[in-house]
Chain A
Amino acid sequence: MNKRLINWLSWSSILILAVFIVMFLSLCIGSVKVSLSQIFNPSDRIIKEILFKIRLPRIILGFAVGGALAIAGVILQGLFRNPLVEPYTLGISGGAGVFVCLNIVLKIYQKFGVITFPISGFVGAGLVIILVYILSIKKGKLRIQGLLLTGVMISFISSSLIMLIMAMTKAENLHGIVFWIMGSLEEPNIFLVKMTLLVSILGLLISCIFSLDLNAFSCGEKEAHHLGVDVEKTKKLLFILASVLTGVCVSVAGIIGFVGLLVPHLMRMLVGEDHRILLLSSYLCGAGFLIFSDTLARTIISPLELPVGVITGIIGGSLFIYVLTKRGR
């Protein structure tokens, strides 16, 4: 059998195993300690409630959001050929954030239901991707250098806009925005949790179909064209996919930065640059990483809770600076 396939299969199984371990760990740990045997055979009604009503949805959301953000990162890095690009550093999360905020303030969700949250997230994310792409293209060529700067500036503008919205809004909305913007995996609406999981897994499958095209993109758009890839069509589809993934994640979990940077970076070192394995492994690793970070966030200063974005931000931001300085040399 193909040597490469064996290598890939073993990496996938290790990662799947790791995700399961983190999941069980996260189920057990918390303000109420639960032993492993109780998970499979919960006798107490309260423990059952804690496990399946509070912790499990959170874990599922962590899985879906972590995975989705990680592959959104991989897709964007592939398209822009820059390992530092991801939904957060490009300002895409910020754009989605502004639109979700608008949704909360204008109370659109009260008229059309919670489904408007992911939709407004997607619209914001899509607009920013288009904006970043147009700004970074000059004379038909992608200027990779200016890209990150543009992205960071858009992030600044978005957070200012969010603050503006917060300053102008009534106190009753403020609570909703603050609660959401901190980046938490606590989502009381089970429908949104299910939908995020569905979108995230579909996103993984669709992106895998494009894994060979992404490989071709690694040597440039014109080269991808020479290798028989319909560049314009593929690019559009992948941009839409990345905005859907980011938009949905931001709308349910707030702005969680750097997962799409940290995870693919680690995976590139472990499994290599081939997108056929990079996408799947990043998804799994991102899922595991976010569940882990969230467990840390809700236990580290228990009974208080940290926003999970704080943990990913500290780890991811440091890595970003490290990679940036190393590349400059």
Chain B
Amino acid sequence: MLETKSLVCGYDNFLLKGISFKVNFSELVGIIGPNGSGKTTLIRAITKLVRPKEGKIIYQGKDITKLSFKELAKEIAVVSQDAYFPDMVKVKDFVLLGRIPHFKKFQFLETNKDLEIVEEVMKLTGILEIKDRFLKETSGGERQLVLIARALAQEPKLLLLDEPTAYLDITHKIKILDLIRKLNKKYSLTVLIVLHDLNLASQYCDRLILLKEGKIYKIGTPSEVLTYQIIEEVYQTVVIVKENPFNFRPYVFLVSEEEMKRRRKDEKKRINSDLYR
């Protein structure tokens, strides 16, 4: 579905240095990594916000530089952190903006089909009750849902999300990630999601791409990527990894470095080795 071939790109001070990976159809892939490791830049490269200096991004067999912005917007939708919410726009009108790429040249008005799709995605994201509210009257969690609804209104085949759960409470975190997984499983929507929270990434993603300083450090299933050796190497911090008793996926515990210094090193090794005997 999506493939990057030794991608080199970014701004002057920071570069993605040779990123190659594949995302298969109907997969839910997470991108993790420390701050400044290139997660957002990667998303921006895929949406043509930054030009690759070297390498290629192939979407369904086509080089994305050959696709127009409009063609791309019909295929790939983005839930980014850059969104600005105009106060006096109603939720339903904001979601309708997602239909813009499907408007024909000189088409001025939305068709009934557009309105049906908007209604449908609002139902799917559970914002039908607030559709007549102005954006200024919505909460942070609701806005994130509105943003996802707008992205879905584009009828994308690939959905990119850049930390959709940042700044949200746990209720909304779970609500949004459950929604994304439902879209992924039920509608075979391919998802590429940037997550900061390793445990959420572990729980929801089929595969994880771990970035470090603009390079892929490790790519694989959550249990392959989230081992304490790898995390400690990439994040330069001490962690303990255990199995989540509910879904048997790795769970990362953060440990105070000061406390760890006071205790014996082998104690930590003993706790960690329970999982990887």
Contact = CB atoms under 8 A, between A and B. Distances in A.
Interface of A: 2, 4-5, 81, 209, 211-212, 215-216, 218-220, 222-223, 225-230, 268, 272-274, 276
A239 B179 CA distance: 40
B78 interface: yes
Given A218-B84, A223-B83, 18 more contacts: A81-B84, A212-B103, A216-B97, A216-B100, A219-B84, A219-B85, A219-B97, A227-B154, A228-B69, A228-B72, A229-B100, A230-B69, A272-B88, A273-B88, A273-B89, A273-B93, A276-B108, A276-B109
A149 B94 CA distance: 30
Interface string B196-217: 0000000000000000000000
B101 A227 contact: yes
Nearest to A213: B100
Contacts of B68: 228
B94 A219 contact: yes
A274 B88 contact: no
Contacts of B103: 212
Contact of B83 (A209, A220, A273, A274): A220
Nearest to B88: A273
* Interface residues of chain B: helix, strand, loop or mixed (majority): loop
Please name the 10 residue pairs, one residue from A and one from B, whose CB atoms are nearest each other, closest first.
A228-B73, A228-B101, A220-B84, A228-B70, A222-B82, A226-B78, A218-B86, A228-B69, A227-B100, A273-B89
B167 interface: no
A85 B154 CA distance: 31
B275 interface: no
Interface of B: 47-49, 68-74, 77-78, 80, 82-86, 88-90, 93-94, 97-98, 100-101, 103, 106, 108-110, 154
20 contacts: A2-B109, A2-B110, A5-B109, A215-B97, A216-B100, A218-B86, A218-B97, A219-B83, A219-B94, A220-B83, A222-B49, A225-B47, A225-B69, A226-B73, A226-B80, A228-B68, A228-B69, A229-B100, A273-B89, A274-B93
Contact of A209 (B82, B106, B109): B106
Contacts of A218: 84, 86, 89, 97
Given A225-B47, A227-B101, A228-B101, A219 B86 contact: yes
Contact of B49 (A2, A81, A225, A273): A225
Given A2-B109, A222-B82, A227 B97 contact: yes
B86 A222 contact: no
Contacts of A209: 106
Contacts of B49: 222, 225
Nearest to A269: B88
Contacts of A5: 109
A223 B101 contact: no
B276 to A, nearest CB: 41
A69 B70 CA distance: 31
Contacts of A228: 68-74, 100-101
B82 A227 contact: no
Nearest to A215: B97
Contacts of B109: 2, 4-5, 276
A249 to B, nearest CB: 26
A222 B47 CA distance: 10
Nearest to B85: A219
A230 B74 CA distance: 14
A229 B71 CA distance: 10
Contacts of A229: 69, 100
Given A212-B100, A215-B97, A223 B86 contact: no
Contacts of B74: 228
Contact of A215 (B77, B80, B82, B100): B100
Contacts of A272: 88-90, 93
Most B CB atoms within 10 A — which of A215, A223, A226, A273? A226
Contacts of A215: 97, 100
Most A CB atoms within 10 A — which of B48, B69, B94? B69
A162 to B, nearest CB: 36
Nearest to B76: A226
A227 B77 CA distance: 8
Contacts of B69: 225, 228-230
Contacts of B73: 226-228
Contacts of B48: 225
Contacts of B94: 219
A223 B77 CA distance: 10
